[in-house]
Structure 1
Amino acid sequence: MNLSVPDEEIKETNSHSSQNATHPKQYRIWIQMAIYSFMVISGQSTATLLGRLYYEKGGKNKYIAALVQSAGFPIILPLLYISSKKNPTSNSTGQSKSSLNLVLASLYVAFGTFLALECMLYAVGLMYLPVSTFSLICASQLGFNAFFSYFINSQKITPFILNSIVLLTISTTLLVLNSDSLTSDVNKKYTLGLICTLGGTSGYALLLSVQQLAYGKLLKRQTFKEILNVILFESMVTTFALLVGLFGSGEWRSLRNEMEGFELGRKLYLVILIGSALAWQVFGIGMVALILKVSSLYANVVSTLNVPFVPVLGVLIFEDRMNGIKVVAMLLAVWGSVSYVYQKYVDDVEVKEENVNVEVQRD
């Protein structure tokens, strides 16, 4: 009796097997991306709203507003301890390990110092801008990152990504033109807020692209432990740099009076600062994880997904003005973000098809 199976059936069976084998892995990747994306969106939205609340109720210290963006790093220590227990460090040669640690330490200092500047720019921007305008301008970070990723990370600029860049640029331009309707004194503060926020978004986009290049080559496994190490040491450097600025400028002397005069009271003053610090750490962990797992451009896309939420919450909580220009800017920012998300979906489908074809050819 002939029990042989035709080659076509063997290939078809192997094809289905390879697809089934890749499905659990794909699901795990998407679940991880969903978790990290939620951390980015919820952390950034919460931190931005709390930061604006700090200013609205009597907070005036820019160094404190910047410091909370990095000072929550101690919450990482328990997570790092648990991660180290589950994934003990492998034994590697002392020379290669020490060389790697030296390079990483240099990167932590450089990136952490640059982040201190970024925190100050964001703190000043949020001080002088309504939270709705601030969050919409931050959406332009995606366009800056696509530009930097093209040169630094060899990121392809597809029609969908180009469409996203154009829409986000127009959205930001509309918000800049919106300053013409303001009074002279308010317009100066608004302009300063615009400049600082745009400087912060472009600088942070550049930093993300450089981080992807540097850490992508040095951190081969890109485990959760490595992600936590990046956040921890960079935040430590950033916090130290901002503390030097706080005490060097003498602004620390006004903290007691600021706390006593805070409209919501001393307890809520501390709650707002601590909550903001924790939210920024949640955001930071999610961002670095997405950079290492996917790309800096995708991490930026996720960070812009709060565009529909923060402006609306700003109107409801802080009574921000939502005029026609802001509405159009928000719709364009959402459209630009969705355009890139669709490109990510297309890329993922193409990768799946390529993997299946490779498996079929091997069989």
Structure 2
Amino acid sequence: MGEVHEECITGPSNIMSQEAKPAVPSGDTNARRNLRPGFSLKRYSWWIQMIIYSVFVLCGQSVATLLGRLYYDKGGNSKWMSTLVQTVGFPVLVPFIFLASNEKQHSEETNRRKYSPILMVSLFIFLGVFLAADCMLYSIGLLYLPVSTYTLVCASQLGFNAFFSYFLNGQKLTAFIINSLVLLTISSVLLVFSPDDSSGSSATKGKYAIGFICTLAASAGYALMLSVTQLAFRKVLRNSSVRMVVKLIVYQSAIATVVILIGLFASGEWKTLTKEMENFKLGNLSYLMTLIWISITWQIFNVGAVGLIYKISSLFSNVISTLALPIVPVVAVFTFNDKMNGVKVISMVLAIWGFTSYLYQHYVDDLEIKAIAENASKVSDERNVNQVSAIPLVER
């Protein structure tokens, strides 16, 4: 992953370089060794955070997608409501703004002084409006496509993200990443030739095409939003903390919710919601619980996705999101009777292959960074030993 050298600011390898910076007496190799437990603690802490954020992404996205399909299959038909539940759950995160660590609070105050409130507000408004439009496209795609097809098309967002990251964040396109993009593109294109009217979605070929285009556009839009978010962390929200991560999610979700509510009332769909709840096949309570849990799981996903952007990069966040690829289609075969035909199987294999190719590139980059850090540490220790040896015996 090309941006590792630039973006993995808080990663284990960079922690090593940061840990080596504290003043250590020249030649005091014992003091330098004493820094290693702290490095190990930070290193494991970093990996624990990565695991937590990754689990949030995988579980949040998978459960939210399946519940979204359940909403449509059991009688829900409001595209605006399906869009609204993707953002309206942000209040559950508000307490975490106050519970989050106050570390780097001074840096946040410095950022607020350096950048005008107008710039910050403009950033949140842009991300919020963009999020609202993207959620609507996803809702239309999920309405007209089988959930397995929908999920496979969403895998194309990894390719879009690499493309946008190349221009916005200096992402280097290595052979493995290019291979990943080509495979993911072919994986999505194959699905154009595989409409499946026998699945949980009763869409016609025309609506299937609309759903495919909307899902593809939503994937491109989401990839662009991730790249812009990473750029914002680098240029606007520099030295920010976990608290700022939560704030960003809350603010953009709040703005997106307002935009979606305006659309809900302007379209008149709000008038049909009561009847929709009464006709829901699983009952009124299940209708409410389905919407509530969709809202909560999407916020869990958002925390994980933005957390990975903050800690590593937008492309890595997207890679973890793609890991859910084999989960949803397989579950959909048993829960929604989706047909897993040959074209879909080939598409899934290509998508997983593309994901593996990118993951291997990240592994290679990680090994390279560790080797550089170890060599730097050895050179530094050798210099210190030479300095100690050069001191006259009387001075020792």
For normalisation by structure 2, the TM-score amounts to: 0.83
For normalisation by structure 1, the TM-score amounts to: 0.91
Alignment partner, residue 200 of structure 1: 218
Alignment partner, residue 118 of structure 1: 134
Alignment partner, residue 253 of structure 1: 271
The gaps in structure 1 that reach 5 residues or longer are 1-9
Matched, 1:82 2:109: no
1:11-32 per-position Cα deviation (integer Å, ceiling 9, x unaligned)? 9989977766543332222211
Question: Contact 2:107 / 2:239 at 8 angstroms: preserved in 1?
Answer: no
Alignment partner, residue 30 of structure 1: 47
Alignment partner, residue 85 of structure 2: 68
Distance 2:31 2:359 in 1: 32
The gaps in structure 2 that reach 5 residues or longer are 1-26, 382-396
Aligned to 1:223, which of 241, 244, 249?
241
Question: Contact 1:139 / 1:333 at 8 angstroms: preserved in 2?
Answer: yes
Give 3-state SS (helix, strand or coil) of 1:59's partner.
coil
Q: Give the C-alpha shift of residue 100 in structure 1.
A: 4.3
Question: Contact 2:107 / 2:240 at 8 angstroms: preserved in 1?
Answer: no
Question: Contact 1:18 / 1:359 at 8 angstroms: preserved in 2?
Answer: no
1:65-99 per-position Cα deviation (integer Å, ceiling 9, x unaligned)? 00000000000111112116x54843987995384
Distance 1:94 1:37 in 2: 30
Aligned to 1:131, which of 147, 167, 174?
147
Amino acid aligned to 2:136: M
Amino acid aligned to 2:43: Q
Amino acid aligned to 1:213: L
1:284-322 per-position Cα deviation (integer Å, ceiling 9, x unaligned)? 011111111101000000001011110001110000011
Alignment partner, residue 373 of structure 2: 355
Written as runs of structure 1 = structure 2, the 5 A alignment for 1:1-363 is 22-83=39-100, 86-87=102-103, 89-90=105-106, 97=113, 99-179=115-195, 186-363=204-381
Give 3-state SS (helix, strand or coil) of 1:108's partner.
helix
Distance 1:180 1:348 in 2: 41
Matched positions, count: 352
Cα distance, 1:224–1:96 mapped onto 2, change above 3 Å: closer
Distance 2:291 2:59 in 1: 16
1:41-69 per-position Cα deviation (integer Å, ceiling 9, x unaligned)? 10000100000000000000000000000
Question: Contact 1:175 / 1:325 at 8 angstroms: preserved in 2?
Answer: yes
Instruction: Give the fraction of aligned pairs with identical amino acids, expressed as a percent.
Output: 49
Q: Give the C-alpha shift of residue 185 in structure 1.
A: 6.8
Distance 1:151 1:92 in 2: 27
Amino acid aligned to 2:290: I
Q: Give the C-alpha shift of residue 261 in structure 1.
A: 0.7
Distance 1:254 1:185 in 2: 21
Give 3-state SS (helix, strand or coil) of 1:215's partner.
helix
Alignment partner, residue 3 of structure 1: none
1:314-333 per-position Cα deviation (integer Å, ceiling 9, x unaligned)? 11000001101101111111
Which one has the bigger helix percentage?
Answer: 1
Cα distance, 1:274–1:181 mapped onto 2, change above 3 Å: closer
Q: Give the C-alpha shift of residue 105 in structure 1.
A: 1.4
Cα RMSD of the aligned pairs, angstroms, is 2.5
Distance 2:351 2:240 in 1: 31
